[in-house]
Amino acid sequence: MSLASSLVVSSNVELSPSSFGFLDSVRDGPQIPDSFRFSSRNRVPNLINKKQKWGNHSHSTELKYPILHESGYGSVIVASMVANPAGEIAVSAEQKVYNVVMKQAALVKRQLRTAGELDVKPDIVLPGTLSLLNEAYDRCGEVCAEYAKTFYLGTMLMTPERQKAIWAIYVWCRRTDELVDGPNASHITPTALDRWEARLEELFQGRPFDMLDAALADTVTKFPVDIQPFKDMIEGMRMDLRKSRYKNFDELYLYCYYVAGTVGLMSVPVMGIAPESQASTESVYNAALALGIANQAPPNILRDVGEDARRGRIYLPQDELAQAGLSDEDIFAGRVTDKWRNFMKNQIKRARMFFDEAEKGVLELNKASRWPVWASLLLYRQILDEIEANDYDNFTKRAYVSKAKKILALPMAYGRALLGPS
């Protein structure tokens, strides 16, 4: 399943790792030129050889989720720990995610206490380097505009600093996703992902490998962005290499967090919380987690069932398939039966519960950041509508939102963005 970190992707364009010029670097290990490195002390470009430039070729405080009872969806579960058969305490998927959410919230709260309000740190730039950073951010904007047109338009209302930072995060997520879902995915090994993670750590230490890394390296100096969600997304890519079945929703939820919920946690420090918001930082981050999952995982999982099956992958809870009287063979055969329709109705119902949870948090975001978030929420909700319109045939029919509906969503999203915290 593709992460589809491109919130609205052009249907006639395909992005490959080679087009960003980083496939060889993660296969063979990064070789970081001195002119790409940032000083670890102040994280500003160290341009000893100023003539060398980055090449364009490189471009509620309780966490919960819906569960299925015999009578259908309704209740929620909270984070918990359980004992495994060996008597050891096993942390549930939700507890793992909850711990990360609390860490992110604490990071922002510390920033709020020290700075008075969440804002952008001032630039510390050596003479002659600002134009290179601007070039890096411009390239990120071009990538976002090409592959996520509607979302890109929504970012136009953000302040320039927030806008550029969101572009940089978007591009890193897309590049990461392309490692395991792009045309060259067959070349990617666990070792390559280890190298990509090492490259991420270098980036957070102010030592970017290429132009696009440099934009993100600058972003993390200006906003209280933590490395953990980025590392967790790479862990989701590792899961794609070694795992093709999920025995229950707890397992699938952890995967959804890794490949999608992380995007929400990465973005909130940049998008900002509305000054007038009375919500706790923790509750806003819980909503951000739901936002990332709702916008990416359930719609894409349910839309791409047939495509994933042809690749030997099934991103559906095995226990819930069994309860519905379905098996892997039914998925591979692509049979749309009454059992399948009933199963899909329940999956869509749960997906919409994530959207409902996410919408609560959008109102708490900084006013200038709400439009692109609302636009993506409205559009991804419509993927679920299109699956229903296709009579739940997600084996041979691809649910997509038409260009006309995308255009209509923009003024609707803008109207909702004007509403702030109650």
Instruction: Among 17-31, 47-61, 88-102, 395-409, name the one with the lowest average pLDDT.
Output: 47-61
Residues paired with residue 82 on neighbouring β-strands, in sequence order:
90
Whole-number pLDDT of residue 89:
43
Would you give the DSSP letter of residue 257? I
Inform me whether the pLDDT recorded for 318 exceeds 80. Answer: yes
Domains of the chain: 93-113+126-418 (1.10.600.10)
* Token pair in block for residue 303: 């839309």
| Strand bridging mode 72-78 / 64-69 | antiparallel
Check: CB of residue 410 under 8 Å from CB of residue 150.
yes
Check: CB of residue 40 under 8 Å from CB of residue 207.
yes
Instruction: Among 167-171, 239-243, 291-295, name the one with the lowest average pLDDT.
Output: 291-295
pLDDT range class, residue 111, cuts 50, 70, 90:
low
Check: CB of residue 245 under 8 Å from CB of residue 269.
no
Whole-number pLDDT of residue 193:
95
Check: CB of residue 57 under 8 Å from CB of residue 212.
no
Q: Which residue has the higher pLDDT, 105 or 396?
A: 396
pLDDT range class, residue 1, cuts 50, 70, 90:
low
- Distance of alpha carbon 422 from its chain centroid, rounded? 27
Inform me whether the pLDDT recorded for 410 exceeds 90. Answer: no
Inform me whether the pLDDT recorded for 85 exceeds 80. Answer: no
Check: CB of residue 168 under 8 Å from CB of residue 155.
no
Whole-number pLDDT of residue 109:
61
- Distance of alpha carbon 57 from its chain centroid, rounded? 24
Instruction: Among 50-54, 60-64, 284-288, 312-316, name the one with the lowest average pLDDT.
Output: 50-54
Whole-number pLDDT of residue 382:
93
Whole-number pLDDT of residue 59:
35
Whole-number pLDDT of residue 358:
86
Whole-number pLDDT of residue 132:
84
pLDDT range class, residue 343, cuts 50, 70, 90:
very high
H or E segment to which residue 66 belongs: strand 64-69
Whole-number pLDDT of residue 36:
38
Instruction: Among 3-7, 138-142, 302-306, name the one with the lowest average pLDDT.
Output: 3-7
Would you give the DSSP letter of residue 73? E
CB-based contacts of 102, cutoff 8 Å, min separation 6: 282, 285
As a whole-number percent, the residues of the chain with pLDDT over 70 amount to: 69
Other C-beta atoms lying within 10 Å of the C-beta of residue 422: 9
Backbone angles phi, psi at 175, to 5 degrees: -60, -40
Instruction: Among 4-18, 99-113, 359-373, name the one with the lowest average pLDDT.
Output: 4-18
Inform me whether the pLDDT recorded for 362 exceeds 70. Answer: yes
| Closest residue by Cα to residue 165 from 208, 217, 203, 202 | 217
Instruction: Among 45-49, 265-269, 404-408, name the one with the lowest average pLDDT.
Output: 45-49
CB-based contacts of 250, cutoff 8 Å, min separation 6: 92, 93, 94
The HSE-up count of residue 123 (CA atoms within 13 Å, CB side) is 12
Whole-number pLDDT of residue 394:
96
Q: Which residue has the higher pLDDT, 45 or 392?
A: 392
- Whether the pTM exceeds 0.85: the reply is no
| Strand bridging mode 89-91 / 64-69 | unpaired
The CB-based long-range contact list for 9-14 (8 Å cut-off, 24+ gap) reads 9/147, 9/148, 10/146, 10/147, 10/149, 11/400, 13/146, 13/147, 14/183
pLDDT mean over 289-295: 81
Instruction: Among 46-50, 183-187, 391-395, name the one with the lowest average pLDDT.
Output: 46-50
CB-based contacts of 139, cutoff 8 Å, min separation 6: 56, 59, 211, 212, 215
- Model confidence pLDDT, tens digit, residues 120-129: 444 444 444 6
- Model confidence pLDDT, tens digit, residues 196-236: 999 999 999 999 999 999 999 999 999 999 999 999 999 99
pLDDT range class, residue 252, cuts 50, 70, 90:
very high
Q: For tokens 């916008």, what's the residue?
A: 295
Backbone angles phi, psi at 162, to 5 degrees: -65, -40
pLDDT range class, residue 338, cuts 50, 70, 90:
very high
Inform me whether the pLDDT recorded for 324 exceeds 90. Answer: yes
Residues paired with residue 73 on neighbouring β-strands, in sequence order:
68
Can you tell me the distance from the alpha carbon of 137 to that of 25, in angstroms, rounded to the nearest whole number? 21
Whole-number pLDDT of residue 31:
41
CB-based contacts of 28, cutoff 8 Å, min separation 6: none
Can you tell me the distance from the alpha carbon of 246 to that of 211, in angstroms, rounded to the nearest whole number? 37
